[in-house]
Structure 1
Amino acid sequence: MAASAHPAIPWPGFSPERAFVLPLRAELMAAPFGEVCQFDGIRLHRKHEFHATVLSREMARAAAAACGEPHLRELYASLSWVPSRTGRYALLHQVKPADQGGRACWSLIEHLQFPAMLAFRAELARVLGRLFDDPVPHVTHYVHGDPDGIGVPDTRALAATLVREVAP
């Protein structure tokens, strides 16, 4: 699959109570695996909502407390928010806590080229510290076990959940 770019993403709004996410247009998120795919014996189902998470809830709270929404909006406006798809996929696995022990969760993500996200978080890291370092620009295409998928706020989280890269 050839890499493709999305149109620029306008300011999506911000709330320190939730993750700061950028919606991606579903019609531009075709994937080469169909509606249901299977890897390592696990059936994953296609998501119908797509987004790139710029800041986790924890990061959004820290950024709001330190900078305030007007500064974050200004920083956002200074960048060109146009992600490009790479066609590079990764299978992730994590056991999440559940009422009856653990719940096995799987996600299939696609890495994105997203210079604005890297610049946005680099500026926050410069001002606020390491919490904002090492982003992993990506979009989740398929899930199993949790409809929200697996959180991947940084390279450490990716390393902890990565099963393997997946070829289209």
Structure 2
Amino acid sequence: MLKKVVLLTIGGVFATAAVAQSDIFKADDLVKYRQSIYQVMGAQAKVMGAMVKGEIDFDAEALHQRALNMGNVGKLLGETYVPATRDVEESNILPAAWEDMDGFSAKGKAFGGALEELIAASGEPGFDAAMAKPAVGKLMKSCKACHDDYRE
């Protein structure tokens, strides 16, 4: 069930379907909301990265929780990717994202898949730093791939 939830929420992050929130919030507020979500996700990634680099002690349970946190807040992103946010000056999204929504969505799905794999693996008994390193690395590469193509 978790697998489906993560795929539906993270993989569908970049859908531009109209949602009630887009009718309530101004476009610039949605951009701030989106950026706040990404800040929370980035904080989770930073701790996981530090664990696999040996900068802090590895804790499988804590890493698993960080991955779950990332998935949980990621569920909120979909309601922030609405066309009205395209021209908000504070947005860090390049026009290429809006012009290539299929490619942008594919990057989101790749991220969702990498996160799903990390959540599943980190929840298994015996998950250790050696197992975490490639899984976290794959997740980080999926973040970077989107940033490289679609973020200022």
State the TM-score, normalizing by the size of structure 1.
0.27
Indicate the structure with greater strand content. Answer: 1
State the TM-score, normalizing by the size of structure 2.
0.28
Indicate the structure with greater helix content. Answer: 2
Higher relative contact order (CA 8 A, sep 6+): 2
